[in-house]
Amino acid sequence: MAGRSGRTVMVLGGGVAGLTAAMELAERGFEVTVVEPSGWGGKARSASVPGTGRGGRLDLPSEHGFRFFPGFYRSLPDTMRRIPLQGSPSGVEGNLREAPEMLSARSGRVGETVADVSLSAGPRTPLQILRARGMKLGAEGELNEELLYFANRMLVYMTSSAQRRLGQWEQTSWWDFTAANGASEEYRKVCVVGATRTVVAARAEECSAHTVGGFLEAFGYGFLGRGGAQAADRVLNGPTSTAWIDPWVRHLARLGVRLELGWRVEGLTVRGRTVAGAVLRGPGGRRREAEADWYVCALPVDRIGALLARGLAEADPELKRTADLRTDWMVGLQFYLTEPTPITRGHVIYQDSPWALTSISQAQFWDTDFAATYGDGTVADCLSVDISSWDTPGILHGKPARECTRAEVAAEVWAQLADALNDGRRRTLHDGLLHSWYLDPAVKNLDGPGPATNDEALLINTTGSWALRPQARTAAVNLFMAGDFVRCPVNLATMEGANQSGRSAANALLEAAGHDAEPAEVHALYEPSELRRLKEVDAALFRQGRRHILDTPPPWSAPTAPDAPTAPTAPDGPDARLSGTG
pLDDT tens, residue by residue, 103-160? 989 999 988 888 888 887 666 666 666 666 555 545 545 557 888 899 899 999 999 9
Report the amino acid identity of residue 165.
R
Can you give the pLDDT at residue 200? 66
- Which residue type does 210 have? H
Q: Are 461 and 492 in contact (CB under 8 A)?
A: yes
What are residue 258's DSSP bridge partners? 33
Positions of the chain with pLDDT lower than 50, given as ranges: 1-4, 137, 140, 566-582
> What pLDDT is recorded for position 191?
87
First to last CA, the chain: 37
**Tens-digit pLDDT profile for residues 182-195:** 999 888 988 898 87
Nearest to 383 by CA among 412, 348, 415: 348
Q: What is the pLDDT of residue 119?
A: 80
Q: Taking the CB of residue 140, how many other CB atoms lie within 10 A of it? A: 5
Strand partners for 234 = 69, 98
User: Exposure string (b/e) for 485-511, b if CB count within 10 Å is 16 or more?
Assistant: bbbbbbbbbbbbbbbbbbbbbbbbbbe
pLDDT at 194 (0 to 100): 80
What sign for the dihedral angle of Cα 449, 450, 452, 458?
A: negative
Q: Which pTM does this prediction carry?
A: 0.92
pLDDT recorded at residue 1: 38
Helix (H) or strand (E) holding 453: strand 453-454
Domain boundaries, the chain: 8-44+239-324+463-513, 56-99+232-238+328-454, 127-230+542-579
Helix (H, G, I), strand (E, B) or coil at 278: strand
Question: Which residues are CB-contacts of 574 (< 8 A; sequence separation ≥ 6)?
Answer: none
Interatomic CA distance for residues 573 and 499, integer angstroms? 18
Which pLDDT does position 124 carry in this prediction?
A: 66
What is the C-alpha to C-alpha distance for residues 519 and 387, in angstroms, rounded to an integer? 38
Q: Is 91 left (phi over 0), alpha (psi -120 to 50) or beta?
A: left
Fold of 8-44+239-324+463-513: FAD/NAD(P)-binding domain (3.50.50)
How many other C-beta atoms are found inside a 10 Å radius of the C-beta of residue 251? 19
- In our burial notation (b when 16+ CB lie closer than 10 A, e otherwise), range 174-205 reads bbbbbbbeebeebbbbbbbbbbbbbbbbbbbe
CATH of domain 56-99+232-238+328-454: 3.30.9
Q: With CA atoms as reference, report the closest residue to 479 among 359, 305, 315.
A: 315
Q: What is the Cα–Cα distance from 278 to 10, expressed in whole angstroms?
A: 9
Identity of the amino acid at 15: G
Strand 8-12, strand 479-481: pairing = unpaired
Q: How far apart (Å, rounded) are the C-alpha atoms in residues 217 and 208?
A: 14
DSSP conformation class of 133:
T
pLDDT of the residue at 131: 61
What percent of the chain has pLDDT above 90?
A: 75
Whether residue 568 is preceded by a cis peptide bond, meaning omega within 30 degrees of 0, is: no
**Reduced to 3 states, what is the DSSP secondary structure of residue 346?**
strand
What 3-state DSSP class applies to 232?
coil
The DSSP bridge partners found for residue 290 are: 278
What's the pLDDT score for residue 197? 67
Contact 62, 47 (CB under 8 A): yes
